[in-house]
């Protein structure tokens, strides 16, 4: 999905996650953007594990910074679009983890 088409679609118009997910993938057509999401999500998981292992709450903040920071750089710098999380935060969060699993499974190219 190109930027012009994506801009014409309001992410709030989707009534279910299965409807939303193809749109979400279209917003991540740039490979570098997907890679940055993947790296950010992996670092976020490591931060969460560290938070539990060490009992250090600041790692929850680090997890958010890693997850969203890498993703937003991917969108603003490489994909040249605005993250869907601004209008559809829950579906976008779900989409990120679904895409993460799909990349691990080889269904989406890394």
3-state DSSP assignment of residue 83: coil
* Cβ atoms < 10 Å from Cβ of 80: 11
pLDDT in tens, 52-108: 999 999 999 999 999 999 999 999 999 999 988 888 999 999 999 999 999 999 999
DSSP state of 75: I
Which residues are within 8 A (CB) of 12 and not within 5 positions of it... i.e. 6 or more apart? 87, 88
**How many angstroms separate the CA atoms of 48 and 4, rounded?**
36
User: What pTM was computed for the model?
Assistant: 0.87
């Amino acid at each position: 999905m190109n930027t012009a088409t994506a801009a014409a679609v309001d992410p709030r118009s989707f009534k279910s996650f299965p409807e939303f997910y193809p749109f979400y993938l279209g917003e991540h057509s740039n490979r570098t953007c997907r890679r940055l999401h993947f790296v950010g999500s992996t670092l976020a998981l490591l931060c969460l594990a560290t938070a539990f292992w060490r009992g250090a709450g600041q790692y929850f903040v680090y997890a958010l910074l890693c997850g969203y920071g890498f993703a937003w750089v991917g969108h603003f710098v490489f994909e040249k679009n605005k993250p869907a999380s601004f209008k559809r935060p829950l579906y976008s969060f779900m989409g990120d983890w679904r895409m993460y699993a799909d990349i691990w499974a080889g269904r989406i190219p890394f």
